[in-house]
Amino acid sequence: MEEAFLIAVEGAKMTVCGECAQKHGRLIAKIAAPEPERKYVAPAVEVLEPEIEVIDDYPAIIRKARMAKGWEQDELAKKVNEGLSTIRNIEASKLTPTEQVAKKIGRVLGIKLLQQLKPKALETKKEASRPMTIGDILKNK
């Protein structure tokens, strides 16, 4: 454990590290640094968040499946409870369907429009091993 020092800076008393005690204020006393609170910190675990996206060639797949069933765009729109303009724009690559709409179209046409991407790891934070001092704050600036 690093030693701590009690110094006076412009009338204020504060506990600082040895390096800061030499640079700032007037030394009052050398003190034993307080033991940091011992907290249980669970080991860092990667939390994975799966990502789902619509496949690249969705317009052609939707159009082909719709035509195979002999449906017009308005029939598909009614069956998936979406507007005709939504279906037209999706088939024309002007609109990417949301995950919900892609699931409905896929279910009605019997096709798969969604693919799962490799999950991204979320960052985890670790606690410091000792309490932060004013010197630490000054070094960070």
Q: Name the 3-class secondary structure at 85.
A: helix
Check residue 25 and give left, alpha or beta (phi > 0: left; psi -120 to 50: alpha).
Answer: left
In this prediction, residue 121 carries a pLDDT of 53
Same domain membership, residue 73 and residue 113? yes
pTM of the entire predicted model = 0.51
pLDDT for position 141 = 54
For residue 139, being part of any structural domain is answered with: no
Q: Tell me if residue 16 falls in helix, strand or coil.
A: strand
Same domain, 56 and 25: no
Regarding whether 83 and 54 lie in a shared domain, the answer is yes
Report the pLDDT value the prediction gives residue 21, as an integer from 0 to 100: 84
Place of tokens 């675990």: 45
CA distance 94 to 117: 23
Quote the pLDDT of residue 119.
Answer: 60
pLDDT at 63: 95
Pair (29, 59) in one structural domain: no
Instruction: Tell me, yes or no, whether 21 and 54 share the same domain.
Output: no
Q: Are residues 10 and 76 in the same domain?
A: no
Q: State the pLDDT at residue 114.
A: 92
What is the domain count for the chain? 2
Q: Are residues 30 and 54 in the same domain?
A: no
Domain membership flag for residue 17: yes
Residue 23 lies in a domain: yes
Distances (CA, A) of 124 to 44, 47, 136: 6, 8, 22
Does 111 fall in a domain?
Answer: yes
User: Is residue 81 situated within a structural domain?
Assistant: yes
The dihedral sign for the CA sequence 61, 63, 67, 73: positive
64 shares a domain with 93: yes
Whether residues 53 and 94 fall in one domain: yes
**What was the pLDDT predicted at 81?**
95
Domain residue limits at 109: 47-121
pLDDT value, residue 44? 66
- Residue 80 lies inside a defined structural domain of this protein: yes
Decide if 84 contacts 74 (C-beta within 8 A): yes
Tens of pLDDT, residue by residue, the chain (141 residues) = 567 888 898 888 888 888 888 888 888 888 875 666 666 666 666 666 668 889 989 999 999 999 999 999 999 999 999 999 999 999 999 999 999 999 999 999 999 999 987 665 555 455 556 677 777 777 655
